[in-house]
Structure 1
Amino acid sequence: MAGNGWTQSTPARSSTGLPNLGDGSGMTPSAERKLGDRIARELYRDPDYLDDPVIMEYVQSIWQPLLAAARLRGELPPELDQAYAWELLLGKDRSVNAFALPGAYFGLHLGLVGVVTSRDELASVLAHELSHVTQRHISRLITRQGEQTPWLIGAMILGALAASKNPGAANAAIVGGQAVAAQTQLNFSRDMEREADRVGFGVMSQAGFAPQGFASMFEKLQQASRLNDGGNFPYLRSHPLTTERISDMQSRVPQGAAAVTLGGELDQAMVAARARVLSNTAVDGLRNWALEVEPTRLARLAPYQQAGALYGATLAAIKLRENAAALQAWTRLNELVRNDAAAARLARLLGAELYLAQGDTARAQALLNDGEAKTSRAELFLLTPVRVRTGQAKAASESLQIWLVDHPRDAQAWQLLASAYAAQGRNVASIRAEAEVNVAQLDYASALARFKAAQEQARLGGAGADHFEASIVDTRARQMELLLREQALER
């Protein structure tokens, strides 16, 4: 585009020897990250945003090998690796969808997690979205709209996302002809889609996932796009699926490759059931799960389908506070999955949720392994309220502090730490932890307000006074003021 200052560079070549279409962007990784931060800040505030430790742990077990494979293949150069966020955000939306945002933020709807039948299918979606970012397709499209300010582009992207759920909500962020411009900008070209397929296929294969998952997932997405498309800027349109692309993925599976059965894993079926329950917590939706585990109906299902049905019925009964039904379904689930280590662990965590909901902390703690809790996010987050309720708040805060050393942007960990500090009467530390929740979610204005509240608490003194924490609060407050000034200058 003339006059936008964009200079097309010679396309670099990936480890496959083919040119990367996303190279040559005029937008720096730092600028793209700032735009992504702005969009992610709003998504964290969205009521549909969800950080479920069990589902996120499962997704991360697929995501991290994909990132490692992209680095190994040379698809992820160090400058992008360091500059970008590489954050996954879960949404409770029931639509079958996933998307990439500037700065390597990735959205994943529970509707998609709920329909995949294997780890390989989910890996194919994540690898495809990852490849849009590593090939810099997003920044290249943004560069084409050089006359638009980055912040306006960010508002347009948020409007397009809002419109995929509620057409009327888009009017708050997109007006008039800007809607068309936003949709045009977000739609990846066919060449970019094909490249994301090609690179993503290589990445997931390198990571050890069955390449057949790509073709089978494409078929699911093609069907879902017909069901989801109401004509109101559905974000799924940004990934148009064609028979040609599906055939291309099928042809890439090496000839003579051993046949792979996609599906049948007990743990995958249980995670999918959890996603379906959490994406539809209406009373009628929860009650429908009881029908899934009627003896005659359950007997007709394969073992992995039985595991999913029993898991969903247990979680739904917990949400409905129907303790007897929850205990009955969970007991049957335990019996079914006892010989599968991964599935048995998920059942154990679900049991801890069940007993916590009933207020039976002793049984909940008996199901949680303290050794695993030091490294496993799901165990740690379930164990924290158990410890707080049983007078072990100090042990809870110490475990969370260890976790946060390696995961400083874990907002839910900071929130749990705030509750553990409050139980100990450490008021300044508790308020500071609440401020760190806002920092992790990129809401620096709210963080500064909480840091100032902690400063005021420190000045009041009393039982909750902590001079070391007060010093940390003063430093963090100054850092927030600096970040807010930088944001104001960027605008």
Structure 2
Amino acid sequence: MQLFKKAKISILVASLALPSPAIATTYSDLPDIGTAAAGTLTVEKEIEYGDAYMRILRGSQPIVSDPLLSEYVSSLGASLLANANDVKTPFEFFLIRNRDINAFAFFGGHVALHTGLFLHAKTESELASVVAHEIAHLTQRHLARAMEQQARQSPLTMAALVGSLLLAIAAPQAGIAAAQATTAASIQSRINYTRSNEKEADRIGIETLSRSGFDANAMPTFFTRMADQYRFASTPPQFLLTHPLPDSRITDSRSRAQQYPQQSVPLSPNYQLARARVIARFAGIDSAAALDWFERQSKRASPALKQSMNYGKALVYIDSRQFDRATALLTPLLKQQPNNPFFLDAATDLDINQKKYDSAISRLNNALETQPNNAVLLLNRDYALVNAGRFKEAISGLLKYTHRYPADTNGWSLLQEASDSHGDRAGALAAQGELYALQGRWHKAINNYTQASQLVDLGSLDQARYDARIDQLRVEESRFNALQR
């Protein structure tokens, strides 16, 4: 399913996924400071701010809406959360289309990963080490604690500091200037506090990594390679500029990891397929460069890795409309794994590009018999139905999908398209209104629902539903605006 969203990225919200010097330890050895900020910023308030930040990011950053990649990072995050301590909020893991190597976390359990990580993390354990580090930042509430310290050293209240961060996301230059002008803490104290946070997050992150069945040595391995690769670079990645990796830091990280049980972690096919998908569609390189990368990797790849290389090449061929070559690569992959969502998604794209709609729908219906609740397959089927002109069926499926996954922009976008094509202007306006709401564009969302209410029959169930949604949106807008005051 080919859905792209482009924008310019301009701000890093929270902390970077970097190791800090410390020795391996258990949770019981840690100081009880994970909820130090509870007195000034409650978990409930963090969730409220996190939701507001996420809406702003959806409207301003190149968030990857690809359903397969979203499902993959969510699954990876869930496997780590199952073995993490002090999880007090729901979590949301998402990707930002950016070749820079980075990750960050912010209020309400939100963890963002740059697609550039997939270009450099060779194994799933290496990527998981970054995610585990960011999870630790959130479970230990480092952002709230940092703000609490700043509030103690300045005349600002906690609400003013958090509002300043919100402003920084909404209008980066104004927000950063406001934060710098009103925070009295010295630069040195901020650096020391950040180092303390990084040390704690790294220590807990490695523990979570090991308990989740990943290679604890993946963190020092990944960052050692990054440090070596960019040691003499004139323009190293942003995280190496802001968080240098001296040899002593990497050595301490390696020593800590070696104190955990050493385990052989098998190759993760899903990680390799996700990585191939990023390189084919989200790496910002042309088709020739992508194919060259896959060809070079294939020469030294194991049979299991070659499968993901062939998948990546098939995607490039689909996107460059070389359908015969794509078919030659996809056919054996589907024969080996007929229900693999990665392969089914690619086959759907291939069929739709060739206007073979019935073939795509039939294949997806067969797969859904064994995976009836698979979000990727459901969305692909609705996508195929829309392209086939079977709008009524698509709308029926998408209404169920958006009810189950209200924060997925893919479902609302398809529902808007299907409703418009079916002649249901009110339904299209409502779906677009939900997209506006997900971006915090409340005025546009309310305006859309007002128009939809005016188009349907007076006193009808649809009008009552639209009017009720208008009331909800106004309440949400009021809460959202209050956070910025």
Q: If the length of structure 2 is used for normalisation, what is the TM-score?
A: 0.79
Counterparts of residues 26-425 of structure 1 (less than 5 Å): 26-46=40-60, 48-70=62-84, 73=85, 75-76=86-87, 80-81=88-89, 86-146=91-151, 147=156, 149-156=161-168, 171=173, 174-175=176-177, 178=180, 189-223=194-228, 230=235, 234=238, 240-253=244-257, 257-260=261-264, 264-282=267-285, 285-292=286-293, 298-331=298-331, 334-335=332-333, 339=336, 344-368=340-364, 369-371=367-369, 374-425=372-423
Structure 1 residue matching 2:28: 3-state secondary structure: coil
Q: Does 1:23 align with 2:35?
A: yes
2 CA distance for matches of 1:187 and 1:154?
24
CA 1:186–1:256 in 2, change beyond 3 Å: closer, same or farther? closer
CA contact (8 A) 2:63 2:95 kept: yes
Q: CA deviation at 1:171?
A: 4.4
CA contact (8 A) 2:46 2:108 kept: yes
Structure 1 residue matching 2:105: 3-state secondary structure: strand
2 CA distance for matches of 1:366 and 1:349?
13
Q: CA deviation at 1:224?
A: 6.8
**More moved, 14-23 vs 202-211:** 14-23
Partner amino acid, structure 2, of 1:120: S
2 CA distance for matches of 1:197 and 1:338?
43
Q: CA deviation at 1:383?
A: 1.0
RMSD: 3.6
Partner amino acid, structure 1, of 2:469: R
CA contact (8 A) 2:74 2:94 kept: no
CA contact (8 A) 2:217 2:254 kept: yes
Highest RCO, 1 vs 2 (Cα 8 Å, sep ≥ 6): 2
User: 1:10 aligns to what?
Assistant: none
CA contact (8 A) 1:292 1:313 kept: no
Q: Does 1:436 align with 2:434?
A: yes
Structure 2 residue matching 1:66: 3-state secondary structure: helix
2 CA distance for matches of 1:222 and 1:22?
30
**More moved, 85-94 vs 213-222:** 213-222
1 CA distance for matches of 2:134 and 2:63?
19
Structure 2 residue matching 1:314: 3-state secondary structure: helix
CA 1:256–1:127 in 2, change beyond 3 Å: closer, same or farther? closer
Q: CA deviation at 1:381?
A: 1.6
* Deviation string, structure 1 residues 45-90 (Cα, Å, up to 9, x no partner): 23522111111111112111222222xx4x21xxx32xxx522231
Q: CA deviation at 1:134?
A: 0.7
CA 1:393–1:108 in 2, change beyond 3 Å: closer, same or farther? same
2 CA distance for matches of 1:227 and 1:180?
37
Q: CA deviation at 1:404?
A: 3.5
2 CA distance for matches of 1:186 and 1:443?
36
Q: Choose the corresponding residue for 1:470, options 460, 463, 471.
A: 463
CA 1:258–1:136 in 2, change beyond 3 Å: closer, same or farther? closer
1 CA distance for matches of 2:47 and 2:443?
19
* Deviation string, structure 1 residues 302-331 (Cα, Å, up to 9, x no partner): 334433332222222222223233334434
User: 1:5 aligns to what?
Assistant: none
**More moved, 311-320 vs 213-222:** 213-222
1 CA distance for matches of 2:426 and 2:400?
19
Structure 1 residue matching 2:94: 3-state secondary structure: strand
2 CA distance for matches of 1:419 and 1:289?
31
CA 1:229–1:349 in 2, change beyond 3 Å: closer, same or farther? farther
Work out the percentage of aligned pairs sharing the same amino acid. Answer: 25
1 CA distance for matches of 2:55 and 2:398?
24
* Deviation string, structure 1 residues 109-129 (Cα, Å, up to 9, x no partner): 111123222222222111110
CA 1:171–1:482 in 2, change beyond 3 Å: closer, same or farther? closer
Q: Does 1:452 align with 2:455?
A: no
**More moved, 422-431 vs 374-383:** 422-431
2 CA distance for matches of 1:213 and 1:413?
36
Q: Gapped runs of 5+ residues in structure 2? A: 1-25
Structure 2 residue matching 1:210: 3-state secondary structure: coil
* Deviation string, structure 1 residues 460-486 (Cα, Å, up to 9, x no partner): x4xxx9922221110110111222233
CA contact (8 A) 2:385 2:394 kept: yes
2 CA distance for matches of 1:274 and 1:352?
15
CA 1:229–1:480 in 2, change beyond 3 Å: closer, same or farther? farther
Q: Gapped runs of 5+ residues in structure 1? A: 1-13, 160-169
User: 2:13 aligns to what?
Assistant: none
1 CA distance for matches of 2:311 and 2:377?
18
2 CA distance for matches of 1:242 and 1:34?
38
CA 1:473–1:392 in 2, change beyond 3 Å: closer, same or farther? same
CA contact (8 A) 1:113 1:275 kept: yes
2 CA distance for matches of 1:457 and 1:227?
63
Partner amino acid, structure 1, of 2:344: R
Partner amino acid, structure 1, of 2:288: R
CA 1:387–1:157 in 2, change beyond 3 Å: closer, same or farther? closer
User: 1:166 aligns to what?
Assistant: none
CA 1:293–1:150 in 2, change beyond 3 Å: closer, same or farther? closer
CA 1:361–1:142 in 2, change beyond 3 Å: closer, same or farther? same
CA 1:256–1:407 in 2, change beyond 3 Å: closer, same or farther? closer
Partner amino acid, structure 1, of 2:167: A
1 CA distance for matches of 2:395 and 2:231?
48
Q: CA deviation at 1:29?
A: 2.5
Partner amino acid, structure 2, of 1:198: R
CA 1:42–1:440 in 2, change beyond 3 Å: closer, same or farther? closer
User: 2:20 aligns to what?
Assistant: none
1 CA distance for matches of 2:249 and 2:101?
19
